[in-house]
Structure 1
Amino acid sequence: MTAPALTTPTLADHLVLVTGGARGLGAAISEAFLDAGARVIVNYHRSQDAAEQLSSRFPDRAFAVGADVRDPDQVRRLVTDAEAHFQTPITTLVNNALMDFSFNGDARPKADELTAEQLAAQFVGSVQAPVDLIQAVLPSMRNAGGGRIINIGTNLFQYPVVPYHDYTAAKAALLSITRTFADDLGPDGINVNMVSGGLLRTTDASAATPDAVFDAIASGTPLRRVTTPAELADTVLFLASAWARGVTGQNLIVDGGLVKG
């Protein structure tokens, strides 16, 4: 049986949790959902002022909640407090938080310098934290009859313009989690996808990147420019919308065409 045609989808009935949602790419994602009418939990770790300033612009639909998503207890409290505030279940989770990382090619650990501690730190932030968050929101999504999980990845493990070994290894593992969780959670009506940008112009994490690197990347893209946080946020909204109801287990690359396929 063919699914019925969609009318213009709305995000107004979504309760969205954006981790690291107060600055950089996270802020662009939070604002995009708020502009589309959704209610948004703006999670922050150290950026309380930014989170509260963003939330104050949408007092009825935004709620700033501090939590270190590397701590499972704080993750559970984050979800409980957010759902109690809005009196509704979380229907969309965006795993965006990036822990203690700067895209500075000169300062990165080289192949002969990479340590187990550096790898472990990125895996806790980019793999274990998203898993804990997914598990925390699953009861609500199941009770609601479905949901959307959107993980933020990177194109660097497909095209390592700069070999950030620890960061790219963790994000590659997150892509695997995205695809295997999509299979497990599909019967519950939960779509799990990844959106992978390249270097974004500009976020706090990419502020240390020299202009020459941005320009070199831009020259290699069909669009001849570097992707912005707002452009990547557009794709996150697409995956949360009813237009993407048939999309799961996918990695959508948003980098101006730098990486093909």
Structure 2
Amino acid sequence: MTKNDILRLLEAYKDGGITKEDAAESLSKAAFEDMGFANVDHSREARQGFPEVVYAAGKTKEQVLAILQSLAAASDGSLLATRASREQYDFVKAEMPEAEYDEEARAIYVRRAKPVGAPPEDEAHEILIITAGTSDIPVAAEARLTAELYGNRVKTLYDCGVAGIHRLAAHEDEIRHARVIICIAGMEGALASVIGGLASGPVIAVPTSVGYGAALHGVTALLSMLSSCAAGVSVVNIDNGFGAGVLASKINRLN
């Protein structure tokens, strides 16, 4: 529930359109809704500018649908469920025809009005997403979809890793002028340091679980990125494209 929603509610009570009991119930739901299996945070949009996002992995298709329906009823904002299966999507789609599925991002989403406070969609407020390899694209797609739903303009550069660094050199100007960069890499994660040394803006590094045995399912890339000698590089968790997309959006909103 946004501030405007609260004002409309108070005006409706003042005009006699609803009872004080109805107003109290609506305001109580503004904090969170206890669904038994989940406490849905309906005040998150007012705090952060975007409704609560559902992590679908580990939830039943019935739970994913119920949470999305609750969020849809309480907000006019876009909805997102990350790490969702096609089975979960098909179940949601039957009850929510407006729901869409991004196969690359593995996410269910409902695109609605542009969020309040979203940055201008111009080159000066563009988020640049770079992957080391093609295998990193699913994580990049999650970051891209998240940032787009938060109202950002996003550009992607895929398969630009250090194994063929001339591919990265072709985009040096874009890297130097990007407002914020999301750098996604598995294996040894070296790309984050290279990008960090070229970029003028902040770099959000995302280690992925891509790689052979000693890559340790992303731990090697994570430690490499945390140990980067390049200044201005921050690191999110392994495969956490969503977290990178949110953080990039927050940075992109800053004046």
Output the TM-score relative to the length of structure 2: 0.33
Choose between structure 1 and 2 for higher RCO, CA contacts under 8 A separated by at least 6 residues: 1
Q: State which structure, 1 or 2, has the greater radius of gyration over its C-alpha atoms.
A: 2
Output the TM-score relative to the length of structure 1: 0.33
